[in-house]
Structure formats: structure tokens, C-alpha cells
A and B are shown apart, each in its own frame.
Chain A
């Protein structure tokens, strides 16, 4: 039996990295998101709310660089916090109302906003929306802790304690630490990292989330992204490869397969905040546990295929992550070889393996023919 820790080949890691790159927010949309964030921040600071200290920052997957493309039909969901230091007490509903009033009085935003129970959603026609959650500092916990509006089952809004900046700091401090200085915590927006610059943990989280979306097709049964990210982060060992990050993650999922034992996942930067509230619905936790079991099996099967049957390995990857990102990744690798062929830097090593490091004899040019 292949264990989760069986060595993942460099070539498979490369393919997995390309798959992750194909499911994350593409650079063109990231640029748009940054522009819109700048515009939005200026707008809020110039609004009536701007007479108070305002800090607008990204939270969630956009903040920590683990965005994942929604399956077809959905938009990217980019989350932001507008933290405002108001004098005196304020009710959560009043703060949401104040933010709604600011947006709806704007000719620029009025036609592109939705009122959500605890945030304002700004809709952009080109594939993403930005959820702006209003927040106030949490004086009780201090530091970067905040209070945000949260709707209870009875529909009432109450203050909910959280700490997204603390969470981001925790995630970024996990081994292996990002080598590049610019990958360290930067407020209010993280630097845009290409797929090649992401840490193995960031990439592992993206693949895990994508796999969850592909396998848990009912949105209502999906576990919150922050819970999966926390589980992945907690499993992180110290080895600096994507293969080991995934192996650690897959191994840790064994703790979630018992439907009668529902763990509680809290915010590592704010232990009072329970992130896994949705698991109180047994069906949601059951779906999570079932997915965990499936992922462990799929991972075992995947590790047996490299060097045995490339098309079957690609099929397994498509099962796990969806066909489009896998097809695109396979084409990218093949295109690199074709480029090497065109530039006469492709050759063959022992056993017939194509290599792009030139050896003594690079392959002669030729044209496929026949029908």
C-alpha cells in the first residue's frame, strides 16, 4: 500500500502546481481587483464615514493567496473588511445600514450593489464580486481583533468576534516560511504572487479547496474555505515541497472521517472564534468526512500512477480537480517540450525520456506525416 508519505515525483509536483495556477484568480483579474480596491478605499475615505479612522483590507483567501476559481457559473468571491473606529457604541445593524447608505448614494456604485445581511456586495461584471464587511475594533480582545455583524438563525444581527489579520499572520508564519520577502504579511493588500512564487502550503490549500468543490457539488453541504485552510495549516510540517504539504494534509484528514465525532475548528489567532459552526449540521460534517475519505483514497491511487500510465494519471487528476485545469496543465508541459524541439534543445536521455537540457545529441528536426 502506498502511504500518504510516498515520495511525490518532481514532475507530478510540477503538474499539480500548474493545476493550482489554473484555478487561482488569474493575473488579469487580480489587477482589476487591486484597482477596484484602491477606488473603493478612496471612495470610503471621502464619504461621510471618512471622518472616522478607516482601514480597508483584504481578508480570506484573497488575503492569504489561496483563491480558487469557482466551478462554472459562479464568480470569484473577494472579501474585504472596512474597519472603522467609531466613537461610542454602535449596533451592528446600524453600521451595515450606514455603509449601505454610503454606497447607495453614490452614482458610481448604486447600480452595482447588493444588500446582504452582514455586508455590502459590490458586483463587477467581469467575473468577481467584492464583499465589504463593516467592522469595529474589538476592544475586549485588543490587537487586530475586530467585531463584525453576523446574522443569527432568528435573523437578528449581533456582533461576532474575529481576527482576519491575525489569521493571515498565523498562516504566513507556518512552515515553510515564504522565502521571498514580499510574500510576508503586507497590509492592506498582499503582493500579487505568481503561481511559481506561492509557498507549497498555499498551493496545497488551493488544490484541497478545489478538490472539495469538485467532489461536494451541493454548495450548501460545502465546508467553509477558512476551515479547510485552518486544517491544512495545522497539518503543515517543515518540509518545503508541494508533495509533502499535500501528504501531510491528506494524512491529517483521517481525524475527520468519524461522523459521530465532530471536532471544533477555531481561529488560531482568536481561539474564541469557532470557524466550524456549519458542522453543527450533521449533513455538512458528513459531507466533509466523506470527502476526506475520498481524497485519501484518490491520493493513494494517484501516487501509484506516475511512471506507469500517464493518461490514467491525468484521468485521476481530472477526477480530483476537474478536467479544464488538468488539460491546460498537460498542454503547458507539452508546449514547453515542443518549444524545445523547435529550438533544437530537446534530446533523449536513457530509456527514451525527453529532456530539455541539451546533451551531446539534440534531436534532429522532423515533421510528423501520415494520416
Chain B
């Protein structure tokens, strides 16, 4: 008898919004298959506040889209901040490693990762070094889990 793996059930947008709204400085609401959340993040005690938005389409293959709205992320000379998609959204996990799936709560995955990204970004602005490691598209490590 063949054993079929069950695909984990996606968390509903209502539940996603509920957990995000339980966090201080976050406001989320879910429409038809679209969750929109905005929040204020201060990654360290010495940092300023960043206004951040998350848009997540339930059922889409696209990851939650995270934008730093204000202040916008700055370049270092001619170099743009690393690990972002073409539209400037933060690229917080390696898709092929399934580090995030729709069965996970955004409030305890994506949102803490935003703080981590902003801390690395601030250090990168000051020092030129990205301390959080990571991979770039096409690099060998991208497919290590395959």
C-alpha cells in the first residue's frame, strides 16, 4: 500500500492576523485570501523604529512580501542592502529548504526574522560587512537540501 505524505494545512489568514495582532506595535487584517500587516520594529535598543509592511497571499506560491517602508533602506555608497528581491522586499529565508511554509505562523517566523535582518542591515551600513551569512541565487548552498 502506498503511503502518501500529507501536505501540512496552511494556517488561515484569520489565525495569522490574530497572532500578529497579539504582538505590540503590529496591526493585521485579512481580506479575501490576502493578509496585510503593518508594524513598527526596533531591532536593538540603540536602533530607531522601522515601519514595516507584510503582504501575504494565501494559496500563492509567493512568500510573504516584506517591505521596510520608513525609513527606507539605504545604500552603502553604490551598494544596495543585501538579500532583497527585485522590488526591494526582504528575502528572509531559503525557499527550497522550506524554512517557511504556509503552515507556519508569521508572527513567530517572518516577524522575528525582520528584526534580525534590520540588525544585520544596520551593522552592514556601519561596517560594510553582512554578519548574518546567507546565500545568493545560483550559489551552491541554495540547493544543499535537495
B136 touches A335 (CB 8 A): no
A366 touches B115 (CB 8 A): no
B126 touches A351 (CB 8 A): no
A354 touches B131 (CB 8 A): no
CB distance from B109 to the nearest CB of A (A): 5
Contacts of A338 in B (CB 8 A): 131-133
Cross-interface CB contact of A15 among B42, B46, B92, B104, cutoff 8 Å: B46
Name which of A62-70, A105-113, A357-365 contacts chain B: A357-365
B58-76 toward A: CB 8 Å interface, digit per residue (1/0)? 0000000000000000100
CB distance from B102 to the nearest CB of A (A): 15
Q: CA A351 – CA B114 in complex, angstroms? A: 12
A304-336 toward B: CB 8 Å interface, digit per residue (1/0)? 001111110111000000000011001100110
Contacts of B141 in A (CB 8 A): 367
B interface, over-half SS: loop
A370 with B45, Cβ < 8 A, contacts A314-B126, A330-B126 known: no
Contacts of B25 in A (CB 8 A): 350-352
CB distance from A320 to the nearest CB of B (A): 14
Name which of A33-41, A203-211, A340-348 contacts chain B: A340-348
A353 touches B43 (CB 8 A): yes
CB distance from A314 to the nearest CB of B (A): 4
User: What class of interface size applies to chain A in its complex with B?
Assistant: 35 or more
B112 touches A353 (CB 8 A): no
Q: CA A354 – CA B141 in complex, angstroms? A: 27
Interface centre among A309, A327, A334, A369 (most CB of B within 10 A): A369
Is A129 engaged at the interface, CB distance under 8 Å to the other chain?
Answer: no
A348 touches B111 (CB 8 A): yes
How many interface contacts (CB-CB < 8 Å) are there between A and B? 152
CB distance from B116 to the nearest CB of A (A): 7
Interface centre among B92, B112, B114 (most CB of A within 10 A): B112
Contacts of A347 in B (CB 8 A): 112
Is B137 engaged at the interface, CB distance under 8 Å to the other chain?
Answer: yes
CB distance from B101 to the nearest CB of A (A): 11
CB distance from B132 to the nearest CB of A (A): 6
Contacts of A367 in B (CB 8 A): 93-94, 97, 99, 133-135, 141
A366 touches B92 (CB 8 A): yes
B93 touches A310 (CB 8 A): no
Q: CA A315 – CA B125 in complex, angstroms? A: 10
Q: Which residues of A contact B (CB under 8 A)?
A: 9-12, 15, 306-311, 313-315, 326-327, 330-331, 334-335, 337-338, 341, 346-348, 350-354, 361, 363-371
11 sample A-B contacts, Cβ–Cβ < 8 Å, listed by A number: A334-B119, A352-B41, A352-B42, A361-B112, A366-B100, A366-B109, A366-B113, A367-B135, A369-B136, A369-B142, A370-B85
Closest 10 CB pairs of A and B: A370-B91, A368-B134, A352-B41, A368-B83, A334-B123, A367-B94, A314-B126, A366-B93, A348-B112, A363-B112
